[in-house]
Structure 1
Amino acid sequence: MTRIGTAICAVLALGAGGLWLSQAQNVPAVSLIGAAEAQEGQVDTSSVVEMVQGAEDAPVEVIEYASFTCPHCANFHEGPYKQLKKDFIDTGKVRFVYREVYFDRYGLWASMIARCGGAERFFGITDLIYEGQPEWARAGGPPEIVAELRKIGRLAGLEKDQIEACLKDADKAQTLVTWYQENAEEHGIDSTPSFVINGQKVLNQPYEDLKALIEDELGS
């Protein structure tokens, strides 16, 4: 089985009995029935909102594939991403698309929190999740981790009921996992962060090298 397939099974096969909050542990749990449906391609992913920054007509499109539990992704967002935003996204040269990767269940839960405030708040909440990654990702077991993610949601200005509704949204969780699988298979994503620059897959690398690739696309 590929890493993608293994990750999908690991994320989805978290317990029988359905989604979302477990009565015993008060943590998200995806059903095995949902896993079967996702792998058979029966989930419609057209409702998933792409998280985008920059001009829609920018000459270069950069897609980042990242996991909220990936330390290298956190490092990228702490430094290179901010430089990328300043140099290319904010100047209208790059259309930046952020796509979540779910190599583990905690990354899925973090994604549910990040998307809870809609596209307008997504990148701000993403910043908080990456900044707090050393704390929440190592908080302990599933109950402690999801409790820390709830705290991040409240820090971002989300209401308690809103957070719980997002974490209990079984259909959305299932759709996101299937969407991730489709994207990962399309672009051959098996590590994070990975990038697709105008259709060409690029692995993680120093910002200066990434910048040079973008400038080549721009003809600079």
Structure 2
Amino acid sequence: MAKSKKKGKTGVQKKQSTNSKWLFWTIGIVSVVVLAFIIFGNINKGSEQADISYENQPFLGEEDAPVEVIEFGDYKCPHCKEFNNTFFQLIDQEYIQTGKVKFYFMNYAFINVDSTRSAQFAETVYKELGNDTFWKFHKLLYEKQPDSAGAETQDIFTDQFLQDTLGEIANEEDVQKVVKAYENEEFKEAFRQDMSYAKKLNVSGTPALFVDGKPFEGSTAEDFDKMVKEAAEKKGQE
């Protein structure tokens, strides 16, 4: 997965585990899918549970879901794209859609200028057009992330690119509404808050998960399931 950049290095490093496999249902058919789980090593040791305000954050799931999960991500991170295509699908089916988890996305934009620009534009989409449109745009950004080697360090997510991408899911009036708010930097406080939380929680790369404010440091679906169940039990729910 992606690690924070160091001086003299532009590459994004990753670690993967291919030892775990998971069987799950796909839409319309039953398939056996080999899931290469990402090892979430993107949290500095010493992280502890932190108080987080989830107000005005984009989320998926039921309002009264007992457990709150945060993904810190970067739209230019290829391993965030991989996470959303694999592990997130399991989280969605097994935990979000079943009412066990309320899932939030927060920005940790660190790879290059595209990271910051896309995060700030997405924050504006959420502020101006709401939760549902945000998640459509969020998904589309990862789908449009180039697969070519070194693409994460290239200047691709330009203002025009982001505007055109939003135009695929929103009408022209709504696109211009977002563009105007973006140009006025109305994303400023929301983006600052996300980056502040990432610093407070010692996030050092993406993707990074937190379950009820505690860092997920496991590497398999079983590890995640155990942590969610423990969090639910602490609240008297299971």
Query: Is the pair's TM-score, using the shorter chain for normalization, greater than 0.5?
Result: yes
Partner residue, 2:72 = 65
**Corresponding residue to 1:133 among 139, 145, 149:** 145
Which has the bigger relative contact order, CA under 8 A and spacing at least 6?
2
Matching residue of 1:94: 101
Q: Which amino acid aligns with 1:205?
A: S
Question: Matches of residues 56-205 of structure 1 in structure 2 within 5 Å?
Answer: 56-103=63-110, 104-115=112-123, 116=125, 117-134=129-146, 138=151, 142=155, 145-159=158-172, 160-170=175-185, 172-203=186-217, 205=219
8 A contact 2:120–2:188 mirrored in 1: no
CA distance in 2, matches of 1:65, 1:98: 6
Q: 1:142 to 1:168 in 2, by over 3 A?
A: farther
Deviations 1:97-156 (A, max 9, x none): 111112133122212333313222111111000011117994996487333222211112
Tell me the secondary structure at the aligned position of residue 211 of structure 1.
helix
Name structure 1 gaps, 5 residues minimum.
7-45
Deviations 1:78-103 (A, max 9, x none): 12112211111111110111111121
Contact 1:67–1:102 (CA under 8 A) maintained in structure 2: yes
Q: TM-score, normalised by structure 2?
A: 0.63
Moved more, 74-83 or 209-218: 209-218
The 3 A distance-change label for structure 1 pair 60 and 50 is: same
Query: Given that residues 107 and 195 in structure 2 are in contact (C-alpha distance below 8 angstroms), is that contact kept between their aligned partners in structure 1?
Result: no
CA RMSD of aligned residues (A): 3.1
Q: Supply the AA of the counterpart residue of 2:223.
A: D
Question: Of 49, 52, 55, which residue of structure 1 is paired with 2:56?
Answer: 49
Return the letter of the residue paired with 2:184: D
Q: Distance in 1 between matches of 2:79 and 2:218?
A: 9
CA separation of 1:218/1:143 partners in 2, compared to 1, >3 Å: closer, same or farther? closer
Secondary structure in 2 matching 1:134: coil
Query: Which residue type is aligned with residue 169 of structure 1?
Result: N
Q: Is the 8 A contact 1:102 1:177 kept in 2?
A: no
Looking at structure 1, the residues matched to 153 and 69 of structure 2 have their Cα atoms a distance apart, in angstroms, of 35
Shift of the 178–114 alpha-carbon distance from structure 1 to 2, 3 Å rule, reads: closer
CA distance in 2, matches of 1:203, 1:68: 22
Amino acid at match of 1:152: T
Q: Normalising by structure 1, what TM-score?
A: 0.67
1:213 aligned partner: 227
Q: Retained in 2: the 8 A contact 1:125–1:153?
A: yes
Does structure 2 conserve the Cα–Cα contact (< 8 Å) formed by 1:114 and 1:122?
Answer: yes
- The CA deviation string for residues 159-182 of structure 1, in whole angstroms up to 9 with x for no partner, is 242342143132x24323421232
Using a 3 Å threshold, how does the CA distance of structure 1 residues 111 and 156 change in structure 2: closer, same or farther? farther
Q: Distance in 1 between matches of 2:156 and 2:83?
A: 28
Give distance in 2, aligned partners of 1:185 and 1:149.
26
Q: In 2, distance between residues paired with 1:164 and 1:153?
A: 10
Gap regions ≥5 residues in structure 2: 8-52
**Cα contact 1:194–1:204 (8 A) shared by 2:** no
Change (3 A) 1:62 1:214: same
